[in-house]
Amino acid sequence: GAVVSQHPSRVICKSGTSVKIECRSLDFQATTMFWYRQFPKQSLMLMATSNEGSKATYEQGVEKDKFLINHASLTLSTLTVTSAHPEDSSFYICSARDLQGAGNQPQHFGDGTRLSIL
């Protein structure tokens, strides 16, 4: 089945550091990828929709200058948390849609990245 690889799985860094998270579709092409954030014991909140070759669409309340998204190819999207602070600590999950699939193909999710800012 379709696989989405997310890297790193866990990162711990100091406050003020910028952190990049990669999301790769391993065996399919994805024009659209999604980035979610999940706080402990809470649901997934959609942060932004990443479209290959164009600017990401951010959900209301998400700072686009804080969470930089790049989708330079059909198999890779990156999320960079700039100047991270402890309140940015969270579980970040990406997902991707299969370009070749039918319009009703579900998203394929990565295993998530646990970000901890000290």
Partner 1 sequence: AQSVTQPDIHITVSEGASLELRCNYSYGATPYLFWYVQSPGQGLQLLLKYFSGDTLVQGIKGFEAEFKRSQSSFNLRKPSVHWSDAAEYFCAVAESTGGFKTIFGAGTRLFVKA
Write out the residues near partner 1 by the rule CB under 8 A.
6, 32, 34, 36, 41-46, 49, 51, 57, 93, 95, 97, 103-104, 106-107, 109-112, 114
List beta partners, residue 46: 36
Residues in the chain: 118
Q: Which residue has the tokens 């952190």?
A: 19
Please state the closest distance from residue 109 (CB atom) to partner 1, in A: 5
**β-strand 10-13 against 113-117: which pairing, if any?**
parallel
Please state the closest distance from residue 91 (CB atom) to partner 1, in A: 8
Pick between residue 66 and residue 114 the one whose CB is nearest to partner 1: 114
First to last CA, the chain: 37
Please state the closest distance from residue 67 (CB atom) to partner 1, in A: 17
Give the three-class secondary structure for 86: helix
Pick between residue 1 and residue 86 the one whose CB is nearest to partner 1: 1
